[in-house]
Amino acid sequence: MIKVGIAGASGYTGIELIRLLANHSETELSVLTSETYKGKSISDVFPSLNGIIDIELQPFDCGIFKTCDVVFLALPHTTGMDKLPQIIKSNCKVVDLSADYRLQDPNAYPKWYALTHTHPELLSQTVYGLPELHREKIKSTQVVANPGCYPTSVILALAPLMKTDWVDLNSIISDSKSGVSGAGRKLSTTTHFSEANEGVTPYGLAGHRHTPEMEQELSGLAEKPIKISFSPHLIPMSRGMLSTVYINLKKKLHEDDLIEHYQKFYSKEYFIRILSKGKFASTHHVSHSNFCDIGIKVDTRVGRLIITSALDNLVKGASGQAIQNMNIMQGFEEKLGLQSPGITP
């Protein structure tokens, strides 16, 4: 049994970590922090936890994690950048759910996050936590940078193609849609019910801060620089994410052959489900689960491949994937605490 701490426990990714870890047989929640609700019990903030988890929320202090084996940093982007170096001095393992250590190039942070990285020396020591691509490195690292939800959906959709000569890697377009929980729990005009309901809104066009994550990982797979056109949208549902990715074909390919290729590529990946011919990914089928569903269609009329990729933005797109990473780091069964199927309806 390991002791686990969560910094930022009262946010959406924090409560999702607690929900999932409550059914994890090898963990004990030890420390929960929240600046907004410090001094209150987590079950007072989230009544769904009544009688299950009643830990008092503490203000953040790096010293309180000294007794923890694993710490999840579920803090807003850039706010934990200076906290990580202090926490790792305790020799605990850390899964950072923010973007603070995802990018390997420190020069990317001023452009995409409007700040200079304060600890660039740690970037090379941090592993980008997409288990399907970096499992071996995750096993031996102290710090994992948990991927963003959009990048997870897009990278997994494209990874099997990046070392082939079947597609034009300069033609990648992703049209992605996310539920409003992806914006976090703090109040925002754009996520008020009357602002978000009954409408679909594009945002961050040609400049969303998850773009460099996708390009970094896809470039690594292709072994050459890759750029993509990424268009995110806010859609009026609580959770869920669907990416429809387009890429031009360089040769005629049959859907059956592509599906077989994807199935072989992900044959050992429990959480990746490649759909059969004529079926496409849907957020309904992965809601509240750690699965990513991928469906494939060849548009022979225009010579283009269409890949659909669906996941729950709070589970495989955040907290579930963070626990998957923790399981790998600790040598646990990778599926532990994450085997629940999606909820229907």
Going from N- to C-terminal start, the domains of the chain cover 2-125, 150-313
Q: Is 149 designated active site?
A: yes
- Residue 30 is classified by DSSP as E
The CATH fold of domain 150-313: Dihydrodipicolinate Reductase; domain 2 (3.30.360)
Out of 62, 68, 92, 149, the active site residue is 149
d(CA 199, CA 202): 10
Helix (H) or strand (E) holding 308: strand 304-311
d(CA 183, CA 77): 12
Q: Which amino acid is at 214?
A: M
Dmax over CA atoms of the chain, in Å, equals 62
The structure tokens listed for 192 are 């008020």
| Residue pLDDT tens, the chain, 345 long | 999 999 999 999 999 999 999 999 999 999 999 999 999 999 999 999 999 999 999 999 988 999 999 999 999 999 999 999 999 998 999 999 999 999 999 999 999 999 999 999 999 999 999 999 999 999 999 999 999 999 999 999 999 999 999 999 999 999 999 999 888 877 678 888 888 889 999 999 999 999 999 999 999 999 999 999 999 999 999 999 999 999 999 999 999 999 999 999 999 999 999 999 999 999 999 999 999 999 999 999 999 999 999 999 999 999 999 999 999 999 999 999 999 999 888
Look-up of token digits 């007072």: 44
Q: Which amino acid is at 35?
A: E
- Superfamily of domain covering 2-125: NAD(P)-binding Rossmann-like Domain (3.40.50.720)
Q: Which amino acid is at 204?
A: G
- Look up the pTM and report it: 0.96
Residues contacting 140, CB < 8 A, separation 6+: none
CA 156 to chain centre: 11
Q: What residue spans of 38-148 are helical by DSSP H?
A: 42-45, 84-87, 108-113, 131-140
